[in-house]
Amino acid sequence: MEAASIAHAEHHGPPPAHRSSRVEAPTLGMLLFIMSEIMIFGAFFTAYFFIRIVTNDPWPAPGTAVPEAVAGVNTAILLSSSLTIHWALVSVRSGNRFGLKAGMVATFCLGATFLFVQVNEYIHLGWAPHDSAQATVFYSLTGLHGAHVFIGLCALAIVTTRSFRGHYSPEHHQGMEVPGIYWHFVDAMWIVVYTTVYVL
């Protein structure tokens, strides 16, 4: 009884938070962040569908064209990066450090290639965001996604560096698992952007 009262007296600050969820706090935080990002994309998709359905304007604008083939190849590149980061995660869970490092390097290179191709696409399109409402929406949607890819690449660079420094183990790898969730979101969102903007 005396030991318990001493321990109680030594405790400072609020009591530990009650956890009703089995989801780790960093993972839950990333999932909530992704939900907010989906809402941002939703605002831009609203503008896109307003142009195509409500005003019934042609897509893309007359006299312009979107490079479906290049975007299709770029889509395959980005989707491949989901496979490589999954390989990295499976590897770290099994203690395979080579697979972790190789998977992270491959994911970063594929993501950087995707972003390079997208910037090169902008350079050769021949029309600017201010040329038409369709052009504004096109650059806004693809540019917003490109910004998310860039943020993801920054996170991947950190994870890759830490992988080579031996910071992850089968027991402790949440530091690369949470950015991996974000990267899968970036890949999944591109499928939606590619399908609506380039294919439909």
Residue 17 included in any domain: no
Band (1; pLDDT cuts 50, 70, 90): very low
Range of the domain at 104: 24-54+67-199
77-125 tens-digit pLDDT: 999 999 999 999 999 999 999 999 999 999 999 999 999 999 999 999 9
Q: How many other C-beta atoms can be found within 10 angstroms of the C-beta atom of residue 8?
A: 8
pTM equals 0.86
Residue 116 included in any domain: yes
**Residue 57 vs residues 124, 140, 161: alpha-carbon distances, Å:** 24, 18, 48
| C-alpha–C-alpha distance, residues 165 and 147, integer Å | 28
Residue 127 included in any domain: yes
**Residue 90 vs residues 22, 82, 147, 169: alpha-carbon distances, Å:** 21, 12, 27, 11
Residue 12 included in any domain: no
20-31 tens-digit pLDDT: 557 788 898 999
Q: What is the number of structural domains in the chain?
A: 1
Closest CA to 185 of 140, 143, 151: 151
Query: What CATH number should be reported for the domain holding residue 42?
Result: 1.20.120.80
Residue 31 included in any domain: yes
| C-alpha–C-alpha distance, residues 158 and 95, integer Å | 20
122-148 tens-digit pLDDT: 999 999 999 999 999 999 999 999 999
Q: Which residues contact 20 (CB under 8 A, 6 or more apart)?
A: none
Residue 141 included in any domain: yes
Residue 137 included in any domain: yes
